[in-house]
Structure formats: C-alpha cells, structure tokens
Structure 1
Amino acid sequence: MSGLRREELAPLAGVSVGYYTRLEQGQSPNVSDEVLDSLARVLRLDDDELAHLHRLARVVRARERVRPERLRPGIKLIVDSFTEAPAMAVGRRGDILAWNRLAHALLAPHWEFDGAERPNFVRIDFLEPDFARGLYGDWEQKARDDIAYLEGSLSRFPGDEGLTALVEELLTLSPEFRAMWTEHPVANCASISRDYRHPEVGVMTLTAELLRTPDDEGQGVTVFQAEPGSPSHERLRRLAERVAAAVH
C-alpha cells in the first residue's frame, strides 16, 4: 500500500497518528512486536522485510560504540577445516577475515592470499567492477545482496563507525552503489545460489551458506557448495585439484 498518508496508515495498523509519527522519528524504542507486525500487515511486507523492520525499530537503542572486529581463532579453524569447498570468515562490514585457498581462487585470485590488507567483498564488487562483473553471472543481484548485507549490519550495529564510513565511501565512489542504496533492498543472505564464471574451469552454480555463531558479533562462515554429481560439482573438484597442485 505505497502512497498511504500517516493519517490513513496509522488507523489501519491500530495506532494513533501521533504514535506512528514518533515511530517514524525513532522516538519509540520500546515498540511492541505486535505493533510492528500490524504495520507490516498494512504495508504488505514479506518475511525478510518484516525481519528488517524489527531490527530497524531497535536501532534507536543506545548507540554504544562497538568493539573492534577481530577474527576469533575458532572461526579460523572452521574455515581451515574445509579442503574441498570454498570457505571464508566474513565480518559485519563485509571484510573477508579469513579464507581457504579454494575461496581465494574462486572469489579474488588477484588479491594476495596472506596479504596484510583484508579484502572486502562489497568493495570488490563495487570498486572493481570489471572483475566483479566478469565473475558473477548476475552482478546486479549480487550487488543488491551486498547492500542488503550492509543494511542488516547497520540495523544490528548502529554504533560501528567503520561500517558507517564504508557506506559513506561507497556512496562517494560508486554511482551504482549510490543508486541501489536508495532502493533499500532487503534480503535474507543466509542461503543464496548464484553462477560464478571462473576463467580456468568455467561456469559453476554454487550455493553460499552463511553460518553465524550463537554469540554473534556480526561474524560468520560462508561455505560454497555445488550439487553433487552436477557439472558444477565436477568443475569445483577440478578447481580444487588446481589449487592443491599450485600449493605443492
């Protein structure tokens, strides 16, 4: 129901116009789930948009500074345990905190594997467009998923100055990011299937599963997998062989 005025939307959601106005202005940090669900019903939000609304409604809590992001040793061990599937640890800003050699070969072989500078998958996708557009079968969808990832992080970590600075940097340097950011795409980035074009083994359809830890500080492990027995599975196996041969 786009285009509804406050005076029309508030009664449909069962709240006063004044209360709805305070919600819009972030002045009601203790809004109930029932009110949010009612607003979502009136606005016809889908499940991902509803979850995003619940997160945003709580951003107005005290915006404490968050601790610097450091890779947990246990997460590094998890990444290293994968030898036949690309795996990486990702932070709340999109930094690749750790990766195995197969993920490096798939996602950014032009970066140093053990370099001092941490690659950031959002920066790569928007600030290295020639590489990114060649890698992804649908770069625009990948770019929108990146923005949804950042939006989700901002809703959960509003006090992360580095995250805010990253968004401002991308708004300044990337016209594509600037245009897509205004759309506020919302998506569940926990499980996504997409096509990857690898120059050595060809196109692979892989599913990326984002596994978050229970004591979530915004870090998680992403593992890429192909359907067993598929051409993509065979191509991923060949890529793993090439990576292993290059290391040894």
Structure 2
Amino acid sequence: MNRAELADFLRRGRARLEPSDVGLAPGARRRTPGLRREEVASLAGMSVDYYTRLEQSRGPRPSRQMLAALARALRLTDDERDHLFHLTGEEPPRRDTSSAHVRPGLLLVLDRLYDSPAQVVTDCGEVLAQNALAKALVGDASARPPRERNLTRRFFLDPTARALFPPEDLPRHAHDHVAALRAVAAARPDDPVPAALAAELRAASEEFARLWDEHEVSLRRPATKRFLHPVVGLLELDCGVLLSHEAHHHLVIHTARPGTASHEKLQLLRVVGLQDMTPHPTPTHP
C-alpha cells in the first residue's frame, strides 16, 4: 500500500470538487478550494478521524467497501477508481459484473433530485448512494455495516426492514425480491455475487427458500409502492426505475402525485428530514 500516493490522490480529489458538485449547499465562504474533510467523510459513510488519517499517510489499509465509498464520494471516473484500488494494493472490481462504483454522471442526477426520494441500487439490491430525502424515507444505508445495505438480505433477515411497508403488501415485496434475484443470477451465471446471495438466503430464510423454489422470474420495473413512515405516516408513491446496463445499476426514484395527501407528506418529510428517524447503529470501519 502506497500511503503517500494515496494521501496525495485523496487530497487532490477533494480539492477539485465544489459543494454543488455533490449536492451540498455552498455554506460560508471557504478559505481553501474544494470540499472539507468532514464533507468527504460524511459522503463516504466514515468517521472524520479515519478519513483524516488516510490524508495524512497514517491510516490503515481501507477495505474494498471503503474504497468503493471513497470513489463515490470523490466522484471518480472508472479509471480513477481503478487507480485508487491499485494504490492500496487491491485489484479493481471487474467491469463485466455488478460494480459498487457509481458513475459521476449518475451521482449528479441523484444530487439534483432534491424533492424526490432517490437511490442508486445494484440489480442484486445493494444500496450504493442515496439523496437526503431517500435517507429520510427509508433510513441511511451508509450508517449500516456493509452487509446490511442489501435490500433483499435485509427484507428476509432483518424484521425492522419490513416495518417500512404495510403488512398486506409484504407478500408482494417478497415475491418481487426473489424473482428479481433469480433473473439476475440466470443472466450472469459467471458472476458469483447473485449466486452467493441466493445460497445464503436459501439457507437462512424458509420463506426465501420456498419462493425461490417457485422459480418466478421478473426484473424490477416501475410500480406504485406504499411506505409507512414513523413521522408522516402512510405514503403512496410512484416508483420509477432508470437503468444503467453497463454497470448493472438502477436509479430508483419515488414521486408523489401533486394534490394528493402523499405529496403533502413528502413535502413535510423534506422539512423533517432525518430529525425524527429511528437511530441507526454507528457505522463500523476497517
């Protein structure tokens, strides 16, 4: 691991970004160009101390998950992301499988969707990036350990994930999760990620195993979803899905029809933000 080169690369990447590039308000006048360390740390879901040590050439070797988070926070291109991995002695992710790296252009679109909950999710259900309103609606995925950021795993193994939806909607969500994962596993037989996730959930969840054996197949498509929020209550939202086929990413956008009660609640949620959300566990770092 080349700590000095890594530190220099991180500092330069931070200096070239403005708050507006990552969806942040400019705030007070800055003495130096670029983002602050605490802003990069927040975007990457790590502590400020941990990030500061990386920039000072004294940090531990980051995990692959942490490198992917740094690449997203600094809006790195694919080549820059690969360079970041090489500096730490890691092999960059293969580009023919589902990647944890979100292209800067897709992140720019996400940042501009300030009035609609939106998040970037892999076709295997890994939440890679969220805007502020998505965090307010379904919780901050970056505040959870990496294994708990997968929507399908959480739905079947974490009872709190089901509290987001009305009980009568749970069977449909269960079928959709399983059918989508089966479709991905069949489409990419050489990718170990969907196969490993399916094997894990078949062993851990009787419900998943039963649905898997039904052999239903379907991709994630636009739909209407209902959410139970602890502060604003029930919201009925239209779910749109934009695809990035090259990286197997989905940009999932939830919108409310103007004039409806759900639209008013969504506007209230923008004001409430994360203030009244149930606290999540403190993130762990390598």
Q: Which TM-score band applies after superposition, normalised by the shorter structure?
A: 0.5 to 0.7
Q: Aligned pair 1:238/2:268, yes or no?
A: yes
Choose the corresponding residue for 2:255, options 217, 225, 229.
225
For residue 77 of structure 1, what is the aligned residue in structure 2?
108
For residue 155 of structure 1, what is the aligned residue in structure 2?
186
For residue 240 of structure 2, what is the aligned residue in structure 1?
209
Per the alignment, do residues 75 and 122 of structure 1 end up closer, same or farther by CA in structure 2, a change over 3 Å counting? same
Q: Which protein is bigger by CA-based radius of gyration?
A: 1
Q: CA deviation at 1:240?
A: 1.1
- Work out whether residues 96 and 247 of structure 2, in 8 Å CA contact, stay in contact via their aligned partners in 1: no
Find the residue that maps to 1:135 and give its secondary structure: coil
Q: Aligned pair 1:98/2:129, yes or no?
A: yes
* Cα offsets for 1:17-61 (capped at 9, x unmatched): xxxxxxxxxxxxxxxxxxxxxxxxxxxxxxxxxxxxxxxxxxxxx
**1:100 is matched by which residue type in structure 2?**
N
For residue 18 of structure 1, what is the aligned residue in structure 2?
none
**1:117 is matched by which residue type in structure 2?**
P
- Work out whether residues 84 and 240 of structure 1, in 8 Å CA contact, stay in contact via their aligned partners in 2: yes
Q: CA deviation at 1:189?
A: 2.2
Choose the corresponding residue for 1:135, options 148, 164, 167.
164
- Deviating 4+ runs (over 3 angstroms): 64-68
- Work out whether residues 123 and 170 of structure 1, in 8 Å CA contact, stay in contact via their aligned partners in 2: yes
Q: Aligned pair 1:186/2:223, yes or no?
A: no
* Aligned-pair identity (%): 32
Q: CA deviation at 1:216?
A: 3.2
TM-score (ref. length: structure 1): 0.66
Find the residue that maps to 2:214 and give its secondary structure: coil
Distance 2:164 2:98 in 1: 31
Distance 1:76 1:117 in 2: 20
Q: CA deviation at 1:85?
A: 0.5
Per the alignment, do residues 188 and 65 of structure 1 end up closer, same or farther by CA in structure 2, a change over 3 Å counting? closer
Per the alignment, do residues 174 and 244 of structure 1 end up closer, same or farther by CA in structure 2, a change over 3 Å counting? closer
Distance 1:184 1:120 in 2: 21
Question: Counterparts of 1:11-160 in structure 2 under 5 Å?
Answer: 66-67=96-97, 69=99, 70-109=101-140, 111-113=141-143, 117=146, 119-129=149-159, 131-137=160-166, 138-160=169-191
> Structure 2: which 5+ residue stretches go unaligned?
1-93, 277-286
* Cα offsets for 1:91-110 (capped at 9, x unmatched): 1211011111211221235x
> Structure 1: which 5+ residue stretches go unaligned?
1-63
Q: CA deviation at 1:83?
A: 0.5
Distance 1:67 1:186 in 2: 20
Which shows bigger deviation, 133-142 or 193-202?
A: 133-142
- Work out whether residues 86 and 101 of structure 1, in 8 Å CA contact, stay in contact via their aligned partners in 2: yes
Which shows bigger deviation, 218-227 or 186-195?
A: 186-195
**2:134 is matched by which residue type in structure 1?**
A
Per the alignment, do residues 209 and 180 of structure 1 end up closer, same or farther by CA in structure 2, a change over 3 Å counting? same
For residue 71 of structure 2, what is the aligned residue in structure 1?
none
